[in-house]
Chain A
Amino acid sequence: MAGRFRRTLATVRSTGAVPRWLLYIGGATVLVFTLVALAAPLIAPYDFDQYRSDGTRFPKLGHPSGDHPFGTTVQSLDVLSRVIWGARTALEVVVLAVVFSLIIGVALGLISGFVGGWLDRVLVLLMDALFAFPYLLLAIVLSFLLSDAIGSGVVTTALAITVVYVPQYFRVVRGSTMSARELPYVEAARVIGAKPRTIIVRYLLANVVQSVPVVATLNAGDAILTLAGLGFLGYGIQPTEAAEWGYDLQRAVSDANAGIWWTALYPGLAITVLVVALTILGEGLNEVLNPTLRRRRAFAFLLPGRSASTQAPVLAAKEPR
């Protein structure tokens, strides 16, 4: 495992400058958001549903000021706290959704690609049907159904988003499983007497998940948008349960006409920055991990000159692609 990690790091180092910096910038921004989300109870000045402190009610639609750097909303809520707590909600939902859909999608893709036959056909049909649905509509319908069954909350919303993204993992993993299945090392595993389950877990899994991190990061960005969309339309997490950027944006729509910019700007900015960061992180990962896209970086060699006075020629060595 340590060996593999070292290999991945070496690939990052040998990748060209642009994808490397995409990776670094995207990764750093996502890291900042994650830290803010994790430390929300420590750094948020107030609770997400707190409208008064020390017995005094916060101002309604108050301008950004010392007490409320991002201002307050029509419900007298502190915008800065809402944005920080919103990051926590987004993190919870996205992590749950990505983990769920990754586990389900990868498992189904492996089984479908390895077993083949009618099982494969049924699963592909099912996944294509899910894929063909407009994703937001699907998420709305699911969160509607799920909130009847298990109530609305972070887990419900995460599950609704999960179903939307399962087909993507399924497709990617099924495709690479089908091509890996024909390789001699899979037959070699049969020859040494491995059961199908062992073949899938020990021989196929590690070789078909290369593209999954890329799909996961790109999906995470998409999931933020879906979450915000659900909140904006009122089908997401209830405002009493957690702060949510989409809901805040929806409440801020009427403020914008009155020239009140701070209620919409900060949640909107948070959504935009996080989605962009996740997208460029995904693109960077793709360029690093996908060998067909990867361009090796050219390292400069300094050849020692024959004497100190001669200028050492600089050779650029480029590995053949």
Chain B
Amino acid sequence: MSTLVEVSKLSVHFTLRGGALSRLTGRGSAVVRAVDGVDLTLRRGEVLGLVGESGSGKTTLGRALLGLVPATAGSIRFDGTELAGLPERRIRPLRRRMQMVFQDPHAALNPAMDLGTAIGHPLKIHKLTSGEAETRTRVLEALELVGLAPAERYYSAYPSDLSGGQKQRAVLARAAILDPSLIVADEPVSMLDMSVRARTIELMASLRDRLDLTYVYITHDLATAKLFCDRIAIMYLGRIVEIGSVASIFEQPRHPYTKALLKAVPVPDPSRSAPRDLPRGEIPDASRPPAGCAFHPRCPVAFEPCGWTGRDLRAHLEDRWTRLGASAYEQESRVFADFPDLEFSPVGDVVVAPGRLHTASDVLTVLNDARADAPDDPLWRGVTSMSVRDGKVVVGFASPVEPRLLPSPGGSGHVACHLHHPS
């Protein structure tokens, strides 16, 4: 199979404006790394699933593939044409060949346009038909193609006359009428009723066969991805952590995050209780991603090189105090001079100052207590030493190593995890 889209080292960063003061002084603007160094090859005719939680950057990656958001760095080659850095004016003719299906079918159609006009508009814009009559014929064909029959009746209907599933079919018709090579479908069924989902997926699969389409299917739902995709890429905080065929992802998941996502797929079996080892916490702030592997704070099997820093220590202690209650929190947090500051400690050894009326050994006692209470917590694998120096406690961390996406050992896919690629 030949390559349709070749993405290499693609980054899409968004600048946050910050507060009024930082805007005035021009300082303190944070950068969200929505997509951070992604390599991806899309083969002609395949369906690639992009799977991840909200905030993993899957939608941004999909939009960047179509040139809808400018790439900060890296390259996107669409059938030999470089899209990154191309002005909108030059991308416009290419849009004939790449289309998008949106998550919310209720907002993806212009409410003031009837379906005939809306679906025929792409033809008009690209001047693909010779006149009104031909446009009309093509629109009617497209309506039939997506199963909106009798087409004559839907031709003059307004979006408000349709159900969600019908609207999504109309959106598919608008995308398919241009006979594109690539369709990026951004969670196309997540807002549809359960009963309509499977049929919409079926429709997309049949369009793929009839129009020779390549799909990028963006979703957070592994169940539909299994149904529809050939390959699946698991994304976490702007990076691909694992990519492989559907079989290898479902039968031999390598990355702990993939395993966790698979466990979260609900199984219709009342005798099986809900899994208890779902990933802890939430996806972190993409403007301040954790060091090393971004997944390590939530990873049950993380170890030394995964990127432990002071903020992990802070999270661990807060977690401990949440468990132990208010009195433990009041006693133990007083020992630290500036506890919240741990969040912003740089990579490397962390120097913890004792609070007023406390000494370094008090801090050490609290840390040792925490360690003794949860010796199996992955955090303590990353802590190499705790010692007193100049009246302060120095916590040593193993130096973080960023995992790279490498061929998974003994498998067909690629995975970015230190467990599989000990450095």
Number of A-B contacts (CB under 8 A): 65
CA distance A195 to B156 in the complex (A): 25
Max chain A Cβ within 10 angstroms of own Cβ: one of B99, B112, B114, B125: B112
The answer to the question of A10 belonging to the interface, with a C-beta cut-off of 8 Å to chain B, is: no
B109:A185 contact, CB within 8 angstroms = yes
Interface hits, B80-95 → A, CB 8 Å: 92-93, 95
Taking Cβ atoms with an 8 Å cutoff, the residues of B that contact A are: 66, 68, 92-93, 95-96, 99-100, 102-104, 107-114, 121-122, 125-126, 156, 158, 171, 174-175, 178
The answer to the question of A203 belonging to the interface, with a C-beta cut-off of 8 Å to chain B, is: yes
* Chain A residue nearest in CB terms to B107: A184
Interface hits, A145-192 → B, CB 8 Å: 183-185, 187-192
A192:B102 contact, CB within 8 angstroms = no
Q: Which residues of B lie under 8 Å from residue A25 when comparing CB positions?
A: none
A191:B110 contact, CB within 8 angstroms = no
Q: Which residues of A lie under 8 Å from residue B66 when comparing CB positions?
A: 191
CA distance A198 to B88 in the complex (A): 14
Max chain B Cβ within 10 angstroms of own Cβ: one of A4, A183, A184, A190: A184
B100:A188 contact, CB within 8 angstroms = yes
B121 to chain A, nearest CB (A): 6
B102:A184 contact, CB within 8 angstroms = yes
The answer to the question of A202 belonging to the interface, with a C-beta cut-off of 8 Å to chain B, is: yes
B78 to chain A, nearest CB (A): 14
A191:B109 contact, CB within 8 angstroms = no
Q: Which residues of A lie under 8 Å from residue B95 when comparing CB positions?
A: 190-193
Q: Which residues of A lie under 8 Å from residue B109 when comparing CB positions?
A: 185, 188
Taking Cβ atoms with an 8 Å cutoff, the residues of A that contact B are: 3-4, 183-185, 187-195, 198, 202-203, 206-207
A190:B99 contact, CB within 8 angstroms = no
B99:A191 contact, CB within 8 angstroms = yes
A185:B174 contact, CB within 8 angstroms = no
A207:B174 contact, CB within 8 angstroms = no
Q: Which residues of B lie under 8 Å from residue A192 when comparing CB positions?
A: 95, 99, 121-122, 125, 174, 178
A193:B92 contact, CB within 8 angstroms = yes
Q: Which residues of B lie under 8 Å from residue A187 when comparing CB positions?
A: 68, 100, 102
Q: Which residues of B lie under 8 Å from residue A193 when comparing CB positions?
A: 92-93, 95-96, 122, 125-126
Can you offer 15 A-B residue contacts whose CB atoms are under 8 A?
A183-B107, A184-B102, A184-B108, A185-B109, A185-B111, A187-B102, A188-B100, A188-B102, A191-B68, A191-B175, A192-B99, A192-B125, A192-B178, A194-B121, A195-B125
A206:B112 contact, CB within 8 angstroms = yes
A57 to chain B, nearest CB (A): 60
With A207-B111, A207-B112 already in contact, the answer to whether A191 and B100 are too (CB < 8 A) is: yes
CA distance A187 to B109 in the complex (A): 10
Q: Which residues of B lie under 8 Å from residue A4 when comparing CB positions?
A: 112
CA distance A157 to B144 in the complex (A): 57
Q: Which residues of B lie under 8 Å from residue A184 when comparing CB positions?
A: 102-104, 107-108
A8 to chain B, nearest CB (A): 12
Max chain A Cβ within 10 angstroms of own Cβ: one of B102, B171, B174: B102
Q: Which residues of A lie under 8 Å from residue B99 when comparing CB positions?
A: 191-192
* Chain B residue nearest in CB terms to A210: B112
CA distance A3 to B158 in the complex (A): 9
Max chain A Cβ within 10 angstroms of own Cβ: one of B95, B96, B109, B110: B110
B158:A188 contact, CB within 8 angstroms = no
Max chain B Cβ within 10 angstroms of own Cβ: one of A4, A198, A202: A202
* Chain B residue nearest in CB terms to A182: B107
5 smallest CB-CB distances across A and B, nearest first, come from A206-B112, A193-B95, A192-B122, A184-B108, A184-B107
Q: Which residues of B lie under 8 Å from residue A207 when comparing CB positions?
A: 110-112
* Chain A residue nearest in CB terms to B109: A185
A190 to chain B, nearest CB (A): 7
Max chain A Cβ within 10 angstroms of own Cβ: one of B93, B103, B107, B171: B107
* Chain B residue nearest in CB terms to A188: B108
